[in-house]
Structure 1
Amino acid sequence: MDQNVNNSLKLFIEYLQIEKNYSQYTIEHYQHDIQEFFMFTFEQAIKNLEDVKYIDVRLYLTRLYEEKFARKTVARKISCLRSFFKFLVREKIVSENPFALASIPKAEKKLPEFFYEEEMKELFNACESETLLGQRDKALLELLYATGIRVSECSQIRMKDIDMQLSTVLVHGKGNKQRYIPFGSFAHDALFVYIQNGRKSLLAKNSPNEYLFLNYRGGPLTPRGIRHILNKLIEQSALNGRIHPHMLRHSFATHLLANGADMRTVQELLGHAFLSSTQVYTHVTSEYLRKSYMAHHPRA
């Protein structure tokens, strides 16, 4: 591939940043998938983007399946490359989109994993609030469960985004979309203790910054740091296995729906652009209610 290819990719990245307003995380995925395809075309001695044909797409799909990528991953890569070539057609860099006819494999139907309410109690019991980091970890867990926000959103919360009087947090979501989310008394109390004690002490170890959650050096807590904290809480609790941060988000949505919240409200709180993204939790809720019934009804 020649310099024109790199220029085309640069133009596409600018398009994603400016016109589509995608997050940096999403853009990095697009860039990685496209560059991976470029490596394949180099192996196939394809020198220009215009020379990529449907038969090459079929060969690339075969390569992905041979390397045993998950169907979800293959679907993402094909969708990414379809968007890339669609952009190239729009900009008249190529005349046709070779990915237009490529079929995207159906994703495996996998219901979101979540914690039962009893398991959430175990997690909260594992939080000790005597130490500075313990206060932070408890506030972090309470806020994640109380709001259902993503870990990436949580790491970006600044002090000015928290309104302790109204018990709300301003969340900066995907595509720079903002939403206000309320939180309850448990999260409020944990945040108050952390802000008044733990955060002030952690902040003294570094130059002042605006972020709500800090690491042990006083700097902003990263998404990776949050994942490490959650895994540590699992190890300290009586629960088995590992935790992934989205389990708290899934638990938030499942418990709301199981206790009577309407779908539109949950969609708004989660920051989903489409109701179909939220509807998956109706299946989870049905299973949740069934298991709760079987576990607690005297004649189940």
Structure 2
Amino acid sequence: MPLDTALETYLTHLAVERGLSVNTLAAYRRDLRRYVDHLKAAGRTSPEQVTEADVEAYQLAARTGADGRSPLSASSSARSVVAIRGWHRFLAAEGLTAADPAREVHPPMAPKRLPKAISVDAVERLLAAVGGADGPGPLRDRALLELLYSTGARISEAVGLDVDDLDLTPGRSAVRLLGKGGKERVVPVGSYATQAVEAYLVRGRPALAAHGRGLPAVFLNTRGGRLSRQSAWQVLRQAGERSGLPGPVSPHTLRHSFATHLLAGGADVRVVQELLGHASVTTTQLYTLVTPDMLREVYAASHPRAR
């Protein structure tokens, strides 16, 4: 069967049997058309002639642009390999080819991205930008951001807090957080966050609660209801804008900064894992990736024959 015929047979299968959308089908056609053109240029005329080496050669050519077209990014290359694997798997399953040459070819691994964190000075600027006003709103916002940075809580965990989840006893302040999968963890609360939360509970929350129905939520909106994730995100975004920090501040900025600053201060990665509520230490280890400059500094300061 000619390559073009085999391609159209598969695309018809995707449209009729699997009911793919027009846009998804167009993406498959675009990826596979480029692949088929590469195979033809290599002298292949039918899928039966394609080898694993051909598939790997195309993957390299597409990533580097050696086939005369724009190089594919890692994500686009991964999508292309998925389409190619699906095509060859279909042809083998239908008996149109004797083997599947793409079975052992896998998409490229996406590079691990360092979680975004900001410096301690930047955190202080962010917290200062909430404002020092004594009204219910500013007191709540300062307490929210102080608590997020002090505990590494997700925004959803913070807005889900009830008053009974707080223990503000001097010297052993802690908060009970309900994480993913309903997993509970108890996290210490620093003195700055403790003071901010106490100030809000005494001077801010009662005024907000007066407009509601007596909800136990720690963080309330102006109607006395529980503060939403979207509203909490807005508080963080506005503080980021007022602080003059470069780039947007995401909901995870303070959580990532919490972890990064703990590890930089010498905290054990497994302790940070428990504080963050990560199921696997592998997730937490993303924060331990360091720059070459940091490696050189640590080496110079630690190795007996570095100097």
TM-score by shorter chain over 0.5:
yes
Matches within 5 A, 1:26-105: 44-46=15-17, 59=28, 62=31, 71=75, 103=106, 105=108
Distance 1:218 1:268, change over 3 A: same
Tell me the equivalent position of 1:222: 228
RMSD of aligned alpha carbons: 3.5
Q: 1:149 Cα shift?
A: 1.0
Contact 2:159 2:219 in 1 (8 A): yes
State, as a whole percentage, how many aligned pairs show the same letter: 39
Q: 1:204 aligns with which of 210, 218, 222?
A: 210
Tell me the equivalent position of 1:265: 271
SS in structure 2 opposite 1:44?
helix
Over residues 170-223 of structure 1, what are the superposed CA-to-partner deviations in whole Å (9 max), with x where a residue is unaligned? 111011111000011000000000011111111111111111111122211111
Tell me the equivalent position of 2:143: 139
Contact 1:41 1:47 in 2 (8 A): no
Q: 1:61 Cα shift?
A: 11
The letter of the residue matching 1:108 is: P
Distance 1:69 1:137, change over 3 A: farther
Q: 1:70 Cα shift?
A: 8.3
The letter of the residue matching 1:71 is: S
2: distance between equivalents of 1:243 and 1:41? 46
Distance 1:238 1:266, change over 3 A: same
Q: 1:71 Cα shift?
A: 3.2
Q: 1:238 Cα shift?
A: 3.0
2: distance between equivalents of 1:60 and 1:102? 20
Structure 1 unpaired stretches of 5+? 1-39, 49-55, 79-99, 294-300
Tell me the equivalent position of 1:120: 123
Distance 1:264 1:131, change over 3 A: same
Contact 1:122 1:237 in 2 (8 A): yes
Over residues 6-57 of structure 1, what are the superposed CA-to-partner deviations in whole Å (9 max), with x where a residue is unaligned? xxxxxxxxxxxxxxxxxxxxxxxxxxxxxxxxxx999712269xxxxxxx9x
Tell me the equivalent position of 1:84: none
Distance 1:227 1:41, change over 3 A: farther
Calculate the TM-score normalised by the size of structure 2.
Answer: 0.62
2: distance between equivalents of 1:200 and 1:269? 30
Over residues 266-289 of structure 1, what are the superposed CA-to-partner deviations in whole Å (9 max), with x where a residue is unaligned? 0110111111101111115x4795
2: distance between equivalents of 1:61 and 1:232? 42
SS in structure 1 opposite 2:16?
coil
Over residues 102-138 of structure 1, what are the superposed CA-to-partner deviations in whole Å (9 max), with x where a residue is unaligned? 9455223321111101111111221224221100010
Tell me the equivalent position of 1:247: 253
Structure 2 unpaired stretches of 5+? 1-10, 20-24, 33-71, 83-102, 299-307
SS in structure 2 opposite 1:254?
helix
2: distance between equivalents of 1:155 and 1:237? 23
SS in structure 2 opposite 1:200?
helix
The letter of the residue matching 1:125 is: A
Contact 1:151 1:223 in 2 (8 A): yes
The letter of the residue matching 1:123 is: L
2: distance between equivalents of 1:140 and 1:41? 54
Structure 1 stretches of 4+ with a deviation exceeding 3 A read 40-43, 58-63, 68-72, 100-105, 286-293
Calculate the TM-score normalised by the size of structure 1.
Answer: 0.64
SS in structure 1 opposite 2:241?
helix
Larger radius of gyration: 2
